[in-house]
């Protein structure tokens, strides 16, 4: 057995996140998107627990197809999600679809670089 295993599953980890980051926000750490599970707290030196695997729900106002790249726009606690890359941060890809007019989709977390 390997003696240098630090965490068997590093899927939920407390890491530094930007100010005003809230539970439900999606952050990018390195080249990996992560869902914030708890609000950033000053008493933990600006950290929050984030989840690196799975998918999250996002509301969109445009039609989305499975496989579309999804981008985050806006600021912590008030993000918008859509397919527009200009000015956005890539956070994953759609694993559900919504017709024209928008609605709620599931977005797969993962490598975004």
- Domain span at residue 76 reads 12-108
pTM value?
0.87
Task: Confirm whether 7 is domain-assigned.
Answer: no
Task: Confirm whether 91 is domain-assigned.
Answer: yes
Task: Confirm whether 72 is domain-assigned.
Answer: yes
Burial label for 72, CB within 10 Å (0-12, 13-18, 19+), is buried
Residue 37, both tokens = 């599970």
Which residues are paired to 27 by β-bridges? 34
What average pLDDT does this structure show over 69-85? Answer: 89
Task: Confirm whether 5 is domain-assigned.
Answer: no
Task: Confirm whether 17 is domain-assigned.
Answer: yes
Residue 68, both tokens = 């579309």
Most confident residue range from 7-11, 56-60, 76-80 = 56-60
Write down the pLDDT at residue 43: 61
Through-space distance between the first and last CA atoms of the chain, rounded to whole angstroms: 32
Q: Please give the tally of structural domains in the chain.
A: 1
Task: Confirm whether 1 is domain-assigned.
Answer: no
Residue 15 pLDDT > 80: yes
């Amino acid at each position: 057995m390997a003696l240098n295993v630090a965490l068997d599953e590093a899927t939920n980890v407390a890491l530094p996140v930007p100010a005003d980051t809230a539970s439900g926000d999606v952050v990018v750490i390195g080249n990996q998107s992560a869902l914030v599970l708890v609000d950033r707290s000053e008493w933990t030196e600006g950290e929050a627990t984030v989840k690196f695997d799975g998918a999250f729900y996002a509301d969109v106002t445009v039609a989305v197809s499975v496989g579309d790249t999804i981008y985050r726009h806006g600021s912590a606690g008030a993000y918008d999600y859509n397919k527009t890359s200009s000015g956005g941060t890539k956070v994953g890809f759609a694993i559900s679809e919504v017709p024209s007019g928008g609605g709620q989709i599931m977005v797969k977390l993962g490598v975004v670089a």
